[in-house]
Amino acid sequence: MWKNGTRWVYSITYDEGCAALLDHALPVHRRYGVPGHVAVLASQIGVPRNVPGSSYHGMMILSADEIHSLRAEGWGVSCHSMTHASITPGNAHYEVVKSRAVLEEMLGIAVPLFCVPGSNDCYPASLAVAREAGYSGIMTIYDDINTRHTDLMRLCRVPLHTEYPPPFFSAFDPFKRIRQAIEAGGWIIDYCHCPMPGKPIHPWKDCTVEQLEERFQAVRRFGGNEVWLAEPGEVVEYLLSTGHTP
């Protein structure tokens, strides 16, 4: 069992923290009572995203005040590195350790989770310095559920995308991993970037607003009173407070 006797847990995260979330995703969250979570770059708060070649390059990123407003509604925040560079042993201290200090000073809050940028190729170098930085958890993009005994330094996230990349071409599935989480008493952490109405910014990296609503409907329908809707930081804090063992 999880908090308040719930059977399973549902969370969702948004990489980059685009300000357009306020216009498009936030109203859906409010309708269904689902708290969100943004993974932001320490060097890019309240400015246009400056990662050339990214599908989200040039989009405005949430300001510190906007992040605090989301936190007041139950949202969480994690560090997504300093610059979104590929993390290696050579730059890990800057991208993983220093980024946390910079982000915490900028926001004036504790940021206990790290979210691996790019691909899972960045995970080993991130893990090597994460404890030095004081993180209590790392979110990856390994596609699976988590359980009460998952290593908090290797949290899996489920892609919430319109169409998964080739060679698979997997179409959006609003029910993805829900039955697995229910049966295993597990924890789903979805991830996408910035859902937009009608058409995703990039089908491999995002869903639409309509698909986001389908997902929340499925979680609510099959979860009922047995699902704990929580942002990832709250779940990690709960696990640590109840004697979590991987």
Average the pLDDT over 202-229 and give the result. 97
Average the pLDDT over 3-9 and give the result. 97
- Model confidence at 239: pLDDT above 80: yes
As a whole number of angstroms, the distance between CA 190 and CA 96 comes to: 22
How does residue 233 score in pLDDT terms, banded at 50, 70 and 90? very high
The verdict on residue 25 lying in a domain is yes
The verdict on residue 246 lying in a domain is no
The verdict on residue 179 lying in a domain is yes
How does residue 157 score in pLDDT terms, banded at 50, 70 and 90? very high
The encoded tokens of residue 88 equal 């290696």
The verdict on residue 158 lying in a domain is yes
C-beta separation of 232 from 11 below 8 A? yes
Q: What percent of the chain has pLDDT over 90?
A: 94
Alpha helices in the chain (DSSP H): 21-24, 26-32, 64-72, 92, 99-107, 123-133, 178-184, 209-223, 232-241
Q: How many domains does the chain have?
A: 1
**φ, ψ at 79 (rounded to 5°):** -90, 130
Average the pLDDT over 159-186 and give the result. 95
- Model confidence at 245: pLDDT above 80: no
The verdict on residue 47 lying in a domain is yes
Q: Report pLDDT digits (tens) over 48-61.
A: 999 888 999 999 99
- CATH no. for residue 24? 3.20.20.370
Domain that holds residue 35: 3-241
State the pLDDT at residue 52.
84
**Around Cβ 127, how many Cβ atoms within 10 Å?**
20
Tell me the sheet residues that pair with 45.
Answer: none
Q: Report pLDDT digits (tens) over 83-107.
A: 999 999 999 999 999 999 999 999 9
pTM of the model: 0.96
As a whole number of angstroms, the distance between CA 119 and CA 220 comes to: 30
Q: What percent of the chain has pLDDT over 70?
A: 100
The verdict on residue 143 lying in a domain is yes
The verdict on residue 105 lying in a domain is yes
The verdict on residue 229 lying in a domain is yes
